[in-house]
Amino acid sequence: MSKKVLITRDSTSDLPKELIEKYNIKTIPLGITLGDRTYQDGIDIDPDFIYKYHEEHGVLPKTSAANIGELTDFFAPFVEEGYEIVHFAISSKMSSTYQNSLLAAEEFEGIYVVDTANLSTGEALLILKAAELAEEGKSAKEIHEEITALVPYVDASFVIDNLEYLHKGGRCSALAALGANLLKLKPCIQVKDGSMGVCKKYRGRYIQTLEEYVNDRLSDTSDIDLSRVFVTHAGCDDEIVNTVVNLVKEKANFAEVITSRAGCTVSSHCGRNTLGILYIKKSPLV
């Protein structure tokens, strides 16, 4: 008889609280350093605090991976309780959290670590699939194999309104940021092969670019798994979020449309007005 399976994750996956509770998903937070203090993502700091701190001090936080010791301490009680674990980590190309998770998992039996090759609710899509497989009685090994095979099918993208955070975080040159802001360019960032890159640049008011973005992403739904989609944002106004959610529902007959607020990691790098739609495709990204 196989052991009971527990799904765990790092805090970058931006899952809504109700889904974390529904599937009993356990979370290890990443570190968020502001000034001389380090916080725990989602526990004693939230994105609005980061935005306020930036407005007052002009400083953005630094994010840090969970270290091997923290991950070992995180896994230990669940193993002692008799669980096998499927653990989900942010893309190995974006953080050392995945590698640290692998090293910590070597201290135990029955821990399987997934390199999601993604971030935010690109990870969450895989986590929810895993939780559903666990409810079906699949073993941790079976879940790990099925989810690992599904990784290339996740379509994750975001549109960013302002490049200030990317520029200050060293991910965009001052000249590029200035030019984009003067021309009212809104880059669409897509995750592919575990890394982020610009796949398109929109121009105009943010809400208008988001409408164009949704139309682009959902113009042909024949290759999309319509069981679930996330509309994930980093603190956009309700009006913007509701407009996008309604447009998504008009464009595609998703069985489930989930609205999610991005946590501290994504918010620290992209800034307040960032929004994306994320789903799983029927064929791998090319």
Tell me: the pLDDT tens digits for 234-265?
999 999 999 999 999 999 999 999 999 999 98
For residues 9 and 88, the answer to whether their CB atoms sit within 8 Å is: yes
The pLDDT of residue 242 is: 97
Domain range 153-281, its CATH number among 3.30.390.50, 3.30.1180.10, 1.10.3470.10, 3.30.470.10: 3.30.1180.10
Class of domain 5-50+60-150: alpha beta
Phi, psi of 115 (to 5 degrees): -85, 105
Higher-scoring residue by pLDDT: 164, 178: 164
First to last CA, the chain: 40
Does this chain's domain 5-50+60-150 share its CATH topology with 153-281?
no
For residues 160 and 273, the answer to whether their CB atoms sit within 8 Å is: yes
Q: What angle do CA 256, 272, 10 make, to 5 degrees?
A: 60
Alpha-helix residue ranges (DSSP H) falling in 36-190 = 47-57, 68-80, 97-105, 121-135, 140-150, 164-168, 174-182
DSSP 13: G
The pLDDT of residue 225 is: 98
pLDDT digits 0-9 by tens, 127-177: 999 999 999 999 999 999 999 999 999 999 999 987 665 545 444 433 343
User: pLDDT band at 268, cuts 50/70/90?
Assistant: confident
- How far is residue 277's CA from residue 217's CA, in Å, rounded to a whole number? 8
For residues 226 and 253, the answer to whether their CB atoms sit within 8 Å is: yes
The pLDDT of residue 171 is: 43
For residues 112 and 140, the answer to whether their CB atoms sit within 8 Å is: yes
User: pLDDT band at 180, cuts 50/70/90?
Assistant: very low
pLDDT of 104 strictly over 70: yes
- Per the prediction, the chain carries an average pLDDT of 91
For residues 15 and 124, the answer to whether their CB atoms sit within 8 Å is: yes
Q: Which of 55-59, 92-96, 229-233 has the lowest mean pLDDT?
A: 55-59
Q: Which residues contact 230 (CB under 8 A, 6 or more apart)?
A: 121, 124, 125, 258, 259, 260, 276, 277, 278, 279
The structural domains of the chain, with segments of one domain joined by +, span 5-50+60-150, 153-281
Alpha-helix residue ranges (DSSP H) falling in the chain = 17-22, 47-57, 68-80, 97-105, 121-135, 140-150, 164-168, 174-182, 206-217, 238-251, 264-270
